Amino acid sequence: MSQSRTALVTGASSGIGAAFARVLADDGLDLVLVARRQEKLDELAQELRDRRGVRVEVVAADLSDPAAPRAVVEAVQELGLEVDVLVNNAGLSGDAAFTETPWSALAAEIQVMVTAVTELAHLLAPGMKQRGHGRIVNVSSLAAFAPPGESLLYTGIKSYVLDMSQALDMELKPRGVHVTALCPGFTRSEFHATMGSAEAANRLPALLWQEADAVAREGWAAVETGKPVCVAGRVNKVLSHAMRPVPFRLQYLMGRSLNPLKH
């Protein structure tokens, strides 16, 4: 087994995922990069090997395939690696009305951003717990604090990621494993172009936008210091508090201490 720390990053071919890979490589971590686009992953992997001399492996996988999360973990095991850091970043969002969207597209959205996120954490967290150290960053969104969006599953999905991450952090933190829900706002990446919302997004004020690198650095600092929720960017922090009257820290403490089903 490798003696250095290894991070697995999903959605690593661009945007926040690629930014996380660079931040982690700069911190000396070996990497397993996961995304659909083999060519983009190979380019980034070579860049990181040349830049920091870290080990970088590529696993091309489509996380909308229900078999993909386990296949990814098995591929990592075959490489002789143990995952110390998981960054669940892969995501997508529909741009059409719910009733006009084929079920296959909705199912893919749920699989990538709910099931795969949860399954990868479930597969990898036990090893972290056993070793007494681990970091999990689940990329949620500022949308998790917003009112539901018409026709969209996105706000509900990101709310799930926010809540699940905090619940997992409550369980694992005593064993040295930190879990953080990273909640970025509008971030410059390929996301909006891919989802067909680039024109509308570009009309937003510049102060609402962040660079992917800044989001990744803030998220990595947050999980290292044990923050269960990280809203990236000052403007987004203000907006999130305005949308939710109960502060995150109080919600977290209430959830940990007032849960009647807690073992």
CB count in 10 Å sphere of residue 249: 11
CATH 3.40.50.720 holds for 6-257: yes
Task: Give the H/E segment covering residue 73.
Answer: helix 68-78
What angle do the packed helices 154-172 and 116-131 form, to 10 degrees?
Answer: 10
Alpha carbons within 13 angstroms on the beta-carbon side of residue 75 total: 16
**pLDDT tens, position by position, 180-221:** 999 998 887 655 445 545 455 566 666 676 899 999 999 999
pLDDT score at 262? 60
Round to whole Å and give the CA distance between 220 and 98: 34
Round to whole Å and give the CA distance between 178 and 32: 19
pLDDT score at 263? 54
Q: Where are the domains of the chain?
A: 6-257
CB-based burial, 252-261: b 16+ in 10 Å, e otherwise: beeebeeeee
pLDDT score at 102? 94
pLDDT score at 2? 45
pLDDT score at 191? 58
pTM above 0.95, yes or no: no
DSSP line for 228-243:
SEEE-SHHHHHHHHHH
Cβ distance 138 to 161 under 8 Å? yes
Round to whole Å and give the CA distance between 183 and 143: 8
pLDDT score at 149? 76
SS3 percent helix, strand, coil of the chain, rounded to 5, is 55, 15, 30
Task: For residue 55, give the amino acid letter.
Answer: R
Task: For residue 238, give the amino acid letter.
Answer: V
DSSP line for 93-144:
---S-GGGS-HHHHHHHHIIIIIHHHHHHHHHHHHHHHHT-EEEEEE--GGG
Nearest 5°: the CA angle 160, 7, 172 is: 50
Task: Kindly name the residue from 145, 154, 191, 220 that is annotated as catalytic.
Answer: 154
Ramachandran sector of residue 240 (left: φ over 0; alpha: ψ -120 to 50; beta: rest):
alpha
Establish whether 160 is a catalytic residue: no
CA neighbor of 153 nearest in space, from 186, 113, 192:
113
Per-residue pLDDT of the chain (263 residues; tens, 9 = 90+): 346 899 999 999 999 999 999 999 999 999 999 999 999 999 999 999 998 899 999 999 999 999 999 999 999 999 999 999 999 999 987 778 899 999 999 999 999 999 999 999 999 999 999 999 999 999 999 988 887 777 789 999 999 999 999 999 999 999 999 999 999 988 876 554 455 454 555 666 666 768 999 999 999 999 999 999 999 878 878 888 777 766 777 777 766 776 655 65
| Dihedral angle, C-alpha 206, 212, 215, 218, nearest 10 ° | -130
